[in-house]
Each structure stands twice: as structure tokens, then as C-alpha cells.
Amino acid sequence: MKKLFRSMQEKKIAGVCAGLGEYFEVDPIFFRIFFIFLLFITGIGFLLYVIMWILVPVHDQDKDSSQALRRIYLSSEDCKIAGVCGGLGVFFEVDPVFYRIAFIVFTLFFGVGILGYIILWLVIPRKRDI
């Protein structure tokens, strides 16, 4: 049976999102964005994160199961500002120009494009060269 643990290898704060990513076999970035979304929309994102931080145990063994996961990284090859659009393009296999246009449209019409870009810039990791 699979168990939910906080991951210390891929953590940003407490390893909650990294642990959820390993458990559900998806990139932890989706959970980080979800918690930020809940924080801004309902205000409960922070509370939910802290509760999981307290209740979910730590698991810091080698991450052999998460090695096969596709991950989103900031792009250093196709980088205009911070590499967010290039990284999204590589992950979703879509031309990064479409993401750049989408961020501009969301900025001009809804006023949230720059905020979304900055949030993604902060939560998406840069790929480490090993």
C-alpha cells in the first residue's frame, strides 16, 4: 500500500507538495500552484498546508520512484525573461510563443498575467546540471 510522506529531497518549504507529487505521480509544481491558488482565492491554502505539514510524516529515503516523472523546469535555452514560458513549452510540447502571448493577454485583459508569471517563476525549479 502506498503511503503519503513529506519529501525532503524535492522540498521547497516543508516537502508537502513534493510528497503529494510522489504519491500521485505528478509534478509537485501542480500542488504548489494549487496551494497558492487556495491561498489567494479562499485564504485556506496556508492553513491546509500547515495542517499537512504537521500531520504528514517525513520520508527522506532515496527517491527512486519519482525519477521517472516528467518535471517542469525553467528553461535556460528558450529564455526571454526567466524561462517560464520556455519550460512550459518543453513540458507540454507546445511552442513557448503561445504561452508568452497568453501571459500578455491575461495581463492586458484580466490583470493577472504578470502575477501568474511571477508565481510560476518562484515555484518552478531551475534544472540542476549533474
* Helix ranges (DSSP H) in the chain: 16-24, 29-41, 45-55, 84-92, 96-105, 113-123
pLDDT in tens, 105-128: 888 888 888 989 999 998 888 877
Confidence of residue 67 (pLDDT cuts 50, 70, 90): low
Say whether pLDDT at 65 is over 60: no
In the chain, domain spans: 6-64, 72-130
pLDDT for 129: 62
Please give the Cα distance from 81 to 87 (Å, whole number).
Answer: 12
Set of cell numbers at residue 63: 527517491
3-state DSSP assignment of residue 126? strand
Tell me the average pLDDT of the chain: 84
pTM: 0.66
Looking at per-residue confidence, does 9 or 19 come out higher?
A: 19
pLDDT in tens, 22-35: 888 888 999 999 99
